[in-house]
Amino acid sequence: MTFVDELKSAVTPRAALLVIGVLALQLLFIASYVGALHNPKPKDVAFGVVAPGEAAAQTRDKLAKLPGEPLDPRVIEDEGEARRQIMDRKIDGALVVDPRGTEDTLLVASGGGKALANALETITAKTEGAEKRTARTVDVAAASPQDFNGLSSFYLVVGWCVGGYLCASIMSISAGSKPANPQRAAIRLGALALLAVAGGLGGAVIIGPILGALPGSIMGLWGLGALVTFAVGAVTLALEELTGIVGIGLAVLLIVVAGNPSAGGAFPLPMLPPFWNAIGPALPPGAGTWVARSIAYFRGNAVTGPLLVLSAWAVVGTVVTLLVAMRKTRGGAGARLSGRGGSSPSGV
């Protein structure tokens, strides 16, 4: 047997295409993570300004003209309102100007991302120093001392996502598994739901009572974990139904390659480049990370939109999985009936 024959028997055309797909995923992984995270800079960060009279507008305009436009400042009535808007996640920080002295107050929320809080401190120190003023920092929603850089919520959601697409992949491609008909598709979705409930509870207990890494409602995190896991798993099942084994790669592309670097985990959304900033909230890792931080540090505020995003992924994944399974079943039945019809004339 020649080398060419050995090569053909060792690497089939299908295998070659899958290897090329793996190479593409590898390069996209590098491009996505490095592109999103290699040079984080704050851009248009929602920022409040509290100051008396005309000083408020003057301070706002000064901050709006900073090089690179790191802040999107807006005038807020008083410090109490600024704190409320931070807790409602409408703004990421605020500067409270004290006209009676030279020390102002910077309000931040490290629970929403330590990197962003640090960036706001750096920006404020420079602007205040230019005016021969200082600013003391008050952390309105401080990250737990056990939650380094506010990353625990992101790692928690990544774990739930991994459980979702691995479970879906195993059920579809494990040895002896059969193509889904409506009954098998429903059973697989049911099994995925059970895993989601168990994984959601396990993750919430591990990160809360066991490790003490993240405060907040155990029940709230449990529900979030179940929704994230099921949404990711359902989408993976749907992609596998549509494209076969290629669907696993598409799920990795969607969740890992695109979703993780844009989730606002390592660096909050205002510090990401425009493309990743735009797609992050629409993907399960980003929506899940936002909700986890809201539960832990912001009294569960501002979660309706992200929960609707996760629910949409879950519903679309479920519906597509079932519809494609039904279509394949009908198609297979039609082909069998056609085969029987074609043989009938010879038997008449």
Q: 3-state DSSP call for residue 37?
A: helix
Q: What is the pTM of this model?
A: 0.90
Q: Is the Cβ–Cβ distance between 137 and 110 less than 8 Å?
A: no
| Distance, C-alpha 197 to centroid of its chain | 19
Identify the CA nearest to 157 among candidates 256, 88, 240: 256
- Cβ–Cβ under 8 Å, residues 61 and 35: no
| Mean pLDDT on 55-66 | 95
Q: Strands 93-96, 71-75: parallel, antiparallel or unpaired by DSSP?
A: unpaired
CA 303/CA 93 separation, integer angstroms: 19
Residue 52 tokens read as: 């008396």
Residue 346 has pLDDT above 50, yes or no: no
Q: Is 144 helix (H, G, I), strand (E, B) or coil?
A: coil
d(CA 124, CA 97): 12
Instruction: Give residue 64's pLDDT.
Output: 96
CA 86 to chain centre: 21
Which DSSP string do the residues of 155-211 spell out, in sequence order?
HHHHHHHHHHHHHHHHHHHSTT-----HHHHHHHHHHHHHHHHHHHHHHHHIIIIIT
What is the rounded average pLDDT of the residues 204-213? 96
Provide the percentage of residues in the chain whose pLDDT is more than 90: 79
How would you classify the pairing of strands 45-50 and 71-75? parallel
| Structure tokens given for 65 | 């003209």
* pLDDT tens-digit map of 91-122: 999 999 998 999 999 999 999 999 999 999 99
Q: How far apart are CA 27 and CA 38, in angstroms?
A: 16
What is the predicted pLDDT for the residue at 343? 44
- Asked whether the predicted pLDDT for residue 290 surpasses 70, the reply is yes
- Mean of pLDDT over the chain: 91
Name the region of 43 (left: φ>0; alpha: ψ -120 to 50; beta: rest): beta
Cα separations (Å) of 114 from 47, 56, 95?
16, 27, 17
CA dist 63 and 51 (Å) reads 13
Beta-carbon contacts of residue 132 (< 8 Å; ≥ 6 apart): 102
3-state secondary structure of 50: strand
